[in-house]
Amino acid sequence: MSRTDEQPLVTGAKSRKVTVKRAGWLALNIVVPASEVAGMARYTGRNLSRLWQRLREMTSGRGAGSYRPESWSQAVSDTGLPPERLARNFCISRWFWWSLMWVTGLPVVGFLMMLIAAGSSVSGTGWLRVGCVLLVMLLLAATGFVQALAVSYRLWQLIEKRVSEAEAGSFKAFLQETHWCRQVLSGGLF
C-alpha cells in the first residue's frame, strides 16, 4: 500500500473524530448548564418557600395599617424611646435618604447632558448601556425621595404631636399643611 491510499482513511477518521468531538462538546454545553440551572432552581425554590413561610409567620396577626394609636403619647410610648431620641433617629434617617437621593440624582443630570452632547458619536448599544445605568440611578434617587418623604412625615407627626385622625395627623394633613416637596428636596432646611 502506498502513502496516498492511507491519506483518505486518515482524513475520514479525522473528520469523524472531529464530528464526534463537536457533538460531545455541544451536548456538554447544553446538558451541563441545564442540570446546573435545574439544581439552582430547586435550591432557590426551597429557599424562597422557606422565606415566604417565615414572612407569613412574622406578619400573621398584623394586617397592613392595623396599628392605629389613639394619641401621640401612646405612639411615642409604644416605641420605647424618648421623643428626643426619636427625633434624632428620624433626622439621621432623613439625612441618609436625602443624601442617597442627591448622590444618585445629580450625576444622572450630568451624564444625560454629556450623552446628549456626544449625540451621534455614541452607538446604539452605548445609548442602551448608559440608559440602563441612568435608569438604575434614577430609581435609586426616587427611592431616596420617597423614603425621605416618609421620614419627614413621621418627624412632622413627632414635632406637631399629632398621630391619629382625631389629632389631624394623617398623611393628607401633612401634605396639605407643609411644603413637603421643598422640605424633602432641602433635607428639612427650608
Q: So what's the pLDDT on residue 152?
A: 94
For 3-20, how does the pLDDT look when each residue is reduced to its tens digit (9 = 90+)?
A: 555 445 455 666 777 788
- Contact yes or no for 163/169 (Cβ under 8 A): yes
Q: So what's the pLDDT on residue 140?
A: 94
Nearest-angstrom CA–CA distance, 159 and 86: 10
Q: So what's the pLDDT on residue 101?
A: 94
Can you give the residue ranges of every domain in the chain? 1-66, 72-186
For 88-115, how does the pLDDT look when each residue is reduced to its tens digit (9 = 90+)?
A: 999 999 999 999 999 999 999 998 888 8
Q: So what's the pLDDT on residue 13?
A: 65
Low-confidence ranges of the chain (pLDDT < 70): 1-14, 32, 58-66
